[in-house]
Chains A and B, each alone.
Chain A
Amino acid sequence: AQSVTQLDSHVSVSEGTPVLLRCNYSSSYSPSLFWYVQHPNKGLQLLLKYTSAATLVKGINGFEAEFKKSETSFHLTKPSAHMSDAAEYFCVVIRVTGVNQFYFGTGTSLTVIP
């Protein structure tokens, strides 16, 4: 079975400090993994995706994520938080068995303190 667990429902960082949003997945085979961001009252926007190429994936707005198979993790990081990063972040795993099914984590709310 496929699933994702976002380990923190809320993360608070100061502007200019690093961001770490944690995601663990379970999958029967090599997964495809995504991070989406949702700003208040907006739709979800793709930040980055991993599809079994390079394990370090770079996304938009300075975010990146590293796929670690041994730890079944796909944590999202950014070296320096900006006020505009305040949003909800979703980790997603895809199940590929003829019909793609996307499994969403419960989300992590990121607050950036000025």
Chain B
Amino acid sequence: DSGVTQTPKHLITATGQRVTLRCSPRSGDLSVYWYQQSLDQGLQFLIQYYNGEERAKGNILERFSAQQFPDLHSELNLSSLELGDSALYFCASSVTIQRGTDTQYFGPGTRLTVL
């Protein structure tokens, strides 16, 4: 158990809908990262937050947005869902942004199925 929690574990929804994925980082970790993993695209970095502020953006679609709250949990919002958004979404957390000794710890993931 990494200490990173994600809810829900599974989500099934229809095209055009909007969903919210939630992540709670390990105790003491200030950074949260979101990743999308699909069979055709592999593991893709989406976005990184540190202590409530967006710090890095990867291949995140405009239909997707995220935020990190004062209690450090994070939410990933996916809207106008398409079939191709079906994937595993992982959250990871790490302690600090300043040192190369930082380590990411991953949550178990949320499996999103868009029908």
Measured in the bound complex, the distance between the Cα atoms of B99 and A32 in whole Å is 10
Check if A43 sits within 8 Å of B90, measured CB to CB.
Answer: yes
Please tell me which stretch of B40-48, B60-68, B75-83 contacts chain A, meaning at least 4 of its Cβ atoms lie within 8 angstroms of it.
B40-48
B18 within 8 A of A: no
Q: Which of B4, B45, B96, B107 has a CB less than 8 Å from the CB of A100?
A: B96
| A contact residues, total (Cβ < 8 Å) | 26
Check if B43 sits within 8 Å of A90, measured CB to CB.
Answer: yes
A49 within 8 A of B: yes
| Number of A-B residue pairs having CB atoms within 8 Å of each other in the complex | 64
- A-side interface mostly: strand
Q: Which of A31, A45, A104 has a CB less than 8 Å from the CB of B100?
A: A31
B43 to chain A, nearest CB (A): 5
Q: Contacts of A36 on B, CB cut-off 8 Å? A: 106
Check if B102 sits within 8 Å of A100, measured CB to CB.
Answer: yes
Asked if A32 meets B101 with Cβ closer than 8 Å, knowing A99-B50, A104-B45, A106-B42, the reply is yes
B67 to chain A, nearest CB (A): 17
Q: Lowest 8 A-B CB distances belong to which pairs?
A: A32-B100, A96-B100, A44-B106, A43-B106, A43-B108, A51-B101, A99-B55, A100-B102
Known: A45-B106, A96-B99, A107-B42. 10 other contacts (CB 8 A): A30-B100, A45-B2, A94-B102, A96-B100, A99-B55, A99-B56, A100-B99, A102-B33, A102-B45, A102-B104
Could you tell me which B residues sit within 8 Å of A by CB distance?
Answer: 2, 4, 31, 33, 42-43, 45, 48, 50, 55-56, 88, 90, 92, 94, 96-109, 111
